[in-house]
Amino acid sequence: MPIISKANIIQWLTSIKNQSTTHFVVESGCILTKDAIKTLQDHAIEICYLEENPVATSPSKTLEQPDIKEFHYLLSHQKISEKNSYWTHLRGNQLIEKSHPIIRWRGSMDMLIAKILRVAHDIQDPLIHQKLLEINTLLRSMLYSDSMACPLNHSQLWGFSLAEIQEMSHHPLIFWGIDHFFVSPDMGKTILDLNILRTEARSLELEALAAFPYGDRSDLIEACNRLSSAFYVLMIEIRATQDSI
């Protein structure tokens, strides 16, 4: 179900700034976010909702179908029949420059997924291995949520809420009996690898803030924030085991 965000509305308002448009049409099956509705109201734009046509028998082409013959280039609002090497798909037939912050964020997500798999391959502890794969599942859910413009439904990790993961990372002394620590080479390869993933996740959050600056994808930004907490929790778990030996 397509979601129309505040960012989409701002792009639309920019494209019609020299026109006397007073209505915004929401096609059947689409949903406006609260921020999108407020932006339209602030610009005195009336929202019109199209009803589904119950007698339609042949499915119309959707943005997700692979046989799209026309593309929409978002930055210039041009309709074109062929994309060049500088552009890539944002969603459906929407094209954007490859240097766009959302595309950069997606690339960093892909890189982090690859690094997690590489680290998981080397880890001997089956429990840590499985927890890394669950983080990967969360990352893939985030990419799906962005590409389909739908809310992030993956709100748990290892049976805990993302808020609980953050709380655990803030208070290791309460949950594991050890305090925060600085990483050193003698802590072993696993902690060193997890620490690299933790720093990658922190950078990913900054890219998410640049990719979604209008506040309408707070679910993805929050998830990016919790990722670094999750990697730190794994480091603490291993460190607590080392201290008990």
Sequence ranges of the domains in the chain: 3-97, 101-244
CA atoms within 13 Å, Cβ hemisphere of 1: 9
- Tell which residue, 108, 130, 111, 107, has the closest CA to residue 120: 130
Which pLDDT band holds residue 245 (cuts at 50, 70, 90)? low
| pLDDT digit string, tens, across residues 94-145 | 777 888 899 999 999 999 999 999 999 999 899 999 999 999 999 999 999 9
Q: What is the 3-state secondary structure (H, E, C) of 8-47?
A: HHHHHHHHCCCCCCCEEEECCCCEECHHHHHHHHHCCCEE
Cα–Cα distance measured from residue 1 to residue 31, given in angstroms and rounded to the nearest whole number: 7
Q: What is the 3-state secondary structure (H, E, C) of 132-145?
A: HHHHHHHHHHHHHH
101-244: CATH topology is Hypothetical Protein Ta1238; Chain: A; (1.20.1200)
The pLDDT of residue 206: 96
What single letter denotes the amino acid at residue 137?
T
Is the pLDDT score of 54 beyond 70? no
Cα–Cα distance measured from residue 119 to residue 159, given in angstroms and rounded to the nearest whole number: 22
Instruction: Indicate the average pLDDT of the chain.
Output: 82
